[in-house]
Copies of this chain bind each other. A is one copy, B any other.
Amino acid sequence: MAETFVIAQGGGPTAVINQTVVGATMEVRKLFPGARVLGARYGIRGIRNGDFVTLSDLSDQELLAIAATPSAALGSTRDKPNDAYCEAILDGLRHVGADAFINIGGNDTAGTQAILAEASGGAISCIHAPKTIDNDLMENDHTPGFISAAEFVAGAFLSVDLDFRAMPGIYVGIVMGRHAGFLTAAASAWSLDEESGPHLVYVPERPFERSRFIDDVREKTARYGRCIIAMSEGVAGPDGRSLVEHLVPPELLERDQHGNVRLSGTDLGQAVERMLAEDLPGKRARVDTFGYLPRGNIATINQIDAREAFEAGSFAVRAAEQRSGSVALHYTGAETVCRLVPLSDVAGKTRHMPRDFLQANENQVSAVSRDYFARLLPRKFTPARPFV
């Protein structure tokens, strides 16, 4: 019987990542009374440094308050462990007598678990629990954290569309999403009808071309009197490199330890603003960078998302009894259930938005995409039709 569980959080926080921590902790309490649950502060760094919080000492009430709090209560990290770092993590896990290690994060975190699982030789169950607002994990229908962030984006675009009906112009909202356009496409989730924004959607999966972009904006503006645009921070040119890499001088490009270029800056917004000013002079055009606002917003925590994140945590504890692996949210056609898949199926891989989520000939979501979002994110607001 397992006596000590270690839990850590990796990568960018979400609105519901703490639900997974608490789901796991309460499942341990239920299945293994007396077992210890240690939370590592700042992710794997806390394991290496012996920096833990004893979650199993907290009351149910304290735990539930943490579950309802957005962002990563234990702290997080983007450290990419090399061999020596992995050895230090394993030492840290052994030092506290860990039987299982649940690491909550995206595909980089799954990669870390794959390395640790192999290095521990099966002595410690290494479980990856899914978390990412990007919704880009293989084997998952969707990921905990995504629905809440998508709810923010859907509500924001519904609102901005109403704003720009009243005062016509061009609006660009730049949304997080490095390699996958799901969160950007969620801008359409609560769109009222074909005439409503977003009228154009640009995602990393489809090459961005300036002249086509300007033509499309001109055409939509002529047709609807306004043009609302959702654009991923990760949009890339025809050469596959992100626009940000094209735009920012190499000496100013910032990279994390995974080699990822920092996209969450003001560069793309500024460049798009300049493009519109140059190519469509005299048009009112506004660009906002949503940045960090959707990902852990306390005002848009979605309760289905919260429940699924909690269940991913409790499932991780049950799975840890058997073997290492990655918890994935599987849609059966009727409901979403957790299942355990091999870490190698998730680690370091990216689930892109399916090609048919966009219309073939237009930068606009398709019926397939609308059905997906209608299932995940039923409409919460139905504004009246304005007179303009």
Residues of A in contact with B (beta carbons under 8 Å apart): 9, 12-13, 39, 41-42, 53, 62, 65-66, 68-78, 151-152, 155-156, 158-160, 162-163, 165-167, 171, 252, 264-267, 269-270, 273, 277, 286-293, 295-300, 381, 383-384, 386-388
Residues of B within 8 A of A383 (CB): 65, 68-70, 298
Given known contacts A13-B162, A288-B291, A384-B62, is B265 in contact with A273 (CB within 8 Å)? yes
**Structural contact, A152 and B288, CB atoms closer than 8 A:** no
Q: What are 5 contact pairs spanning A and B, CB under 8 A?
A: A73-B384, A252-B277, A265-B273, A265-B287, A266-B289
User: A41 vs B277: C-alpha distance in the bound complex, in angstroms?
Assistant: 28
A296 touches B159 (CB 8 A): yes
User: If the complex has contacts A287-B265, A288-B291, A388-B42, are A155 and B298 also in contact, measured as CB distance less than 8 A?
Assistant: yes
Q: Inside 8 A of A171's CB, which chain B residues have their CB? A: 292
The listed residue (B78, B163, B269) touching A13 by CB distance below 8 A is B163
Contacting pair A387 B39 (CB below 8 A): yes
A264, closest chain B residue (CB)? B286
- Nearest-CB distance from A207 to chain B (Å)? 23
The 8 closest A-B pairs by CB, nearest first: A288-B291, A75-B388, A71-B162, A72-B166, A69-B383, A65-B384, A73-B386, A155-B299
Task: List the B side residues contacting A270 at CB < 8 Å.
Answer: 266-267, 269-270
Instruction: For A265, give the chain B residue with the smallest CB separation.
Output: B273
The CA-CA distance from A71 to B297 in the complex, in Å, is: 22
Q: Which of B291, B296, B384 contacts A162 (CB 8 A)?
A: B296
Q: Chain B nearest CB: distance from A296 CB in Å?
A: 5
> Is the pair B159, A297 in contact by a Cβ cutoff of 8 Å?
yes
CB contacts (< 8 Å) of A12 on chain B: these are 167
Contact B71 A163 (CB under 8 A): yes
Known: A270-B267, A288-B290. A74 touches B159 (CB 8 A): no
> Do the beta carbons of B269 and A76 come within 8 Å of each other?
no
Least CB distance from A292 to B in Å reads: 5
Further contacts, 13 of them, CB under 8 A, given A70-B162, A76-B166, A76-B167 = A53-B387, A68-B384, A69-B162, A73-B386, A73-B387, A74-B166, A75-B166, A159-B297, A163-B295, A266-B269, A266-B270, A269-B269, A288-B290
CB distance from A174 to the nearest CB of B (A): 9
* Cβ A70 vs Cβ B387 within 8 A: no
Closest residue of chain B to A386, judged by CB?
A: B73
